[in-house]
Structure 1
Amino acid sequence: MVTHILTTFNRTLAHEDFGKLLLRLAVGGLMLFHGVHKLIDGVDGIAGMLTAQGLPAFIAYGVLVGEVLAPCLIILGIATRPAALVLAFTMIVAWLMVGTGKTWLLDNTGAWAIENLMYFFVGALAVACLGAGRYALGQAQWR
């Protein structure tokens, strides 16, 4: 009886392509908010952090690739795996810029201080490993 119920339950929820779509919408959609913020307010803050590290300020525009272009591609399912790797790389850079000192800390609510960075990093890696699935605009070899 229990086995039958669990088998039926599992079969009902076995929609891998829909799950991939939900993951793409969550990772790409939530990151896109960060990118739109930078489109509206500019990348001057990031440019300042880069120059403080001795790096050229123009690199700050790369954040628009990682936080606007890559999430849009992920959401649409176009060049999904490469776009997800770009997003994951962007999170590594973000961690190196602002998160290394927070790696072993909790925030005011008890959450891991780099929780958002890790969510986007691991989520992007999951998208890169899983691909876009059937519900994507990209051709099968680029999903």
Structure 2
Amino acid sequence: MQTTNLAPRSMDEEGKLLLRAALAVMLLFHGFSKLVGGIGPITGMVEGAGLPGVFAYGVYVGEVVAPILILVGLFTRAAALVVAVNMIVAVLLAHTAQFFTLNDTGGWALELQGMFLAAALAVALLGAGRYSLGGTAGRFN
């Protein structure tokens, strides 16, 4: 006698893919903007904080390289942690004054940065999943 599994199929793997893709694509828009327009304003903020201006180039890692790795699912957990650190640095350098403020529509002024940070931490905790170049057994995935 053959039994059938009537339990609903889990969509966890598809959810991981959707979360990874949304985070990566949205961040890549910011990275592309910096590739086209340069990082002059970021260099100014970094130097204004007393750090060497060369640290501003880290934005390319956090907004271009790491999102591409997250999107394809390679070294996903490490890349997501890079994005999380990038968001923390962005808030500290450019948005500290907005931390306890609301925007014109009543939302948190830092909701975009907050969502990027939360999504990056979720990806770091969940890993890339099945639909990734690294696969479920891939190192750092």
Q: Does structure 1 residue 91 correspond to structure 2 residue 82?
A: no
Q: Which residue of the partner structure matches residue 8 of structure 2? A: 11
The answer to whether the aligner puts 1:122 opposite 2:128 as a matched pair is no
* Residue-pair matches, total: 134
Normalising by structure 1, what TM-score? 0.89
Question: How far 1:142 sits from its partner (Å)?
Answer: 3.0
- 1:141 positional shift: 2.3
| 1:109, distance to aligned residue in structure 2 (A) | 1.7
Question: Identity over aligned residues, as a percent?
Answer: 49
Equivalent residue number for residue 21 of structure 1: 17
Q: Structure 1 or 2: larger helix share?
A: 1
Aligned position for 1:33:
29
- In the other structure, the counterpart of 1:70 is 66
- Report the secondary structure of 1:106's partner residue: coil
Name the structure 2 match of 1:45.
41
SS in 1 for 2:130: coil
* Aligned counterpart for 1:131 among listed residues 122, 127, 132: 127
SS of the residue aligned with 2:8?
helix
The amino acid that maps onto 1:138 is G
Q: Which runs of 5+ in 1 are unaligned?
A: 1-7
Q: Secondary structure at the match of 2:74?
A: coil
Moved more, 30-39 or 51-60: 51-60
How far apart are the structure 2 equivalents of 1:69 and 1:115?
23
> Does the alignment pair 1:141 with 2:136?
no
Deviation (angstroms), 1:129? 0.2
Question: How far is 1:24 from its partner?
Answer: 0.1
Aligned-partner residue type, residue 55 of structure 2:
I
State the alpha-carbon separation in 1 of the partners of residues 44 and 140 from structure 2. Answer: 36
1:34 is displaced (CA, Å) by 0.4
Matched residues in 2 for 1:114 and 1:105: separation? 8
Query: What letter corresponds to residue 142 of structure 1 in structure 2?
Result: F
Task: Say what the alpha-carbon RMSD is for the aligned residues.
Answer: 1.4
- Whole-Å Cα distance in 2 between the matches of residues 108 and 38 of structure 1? 26
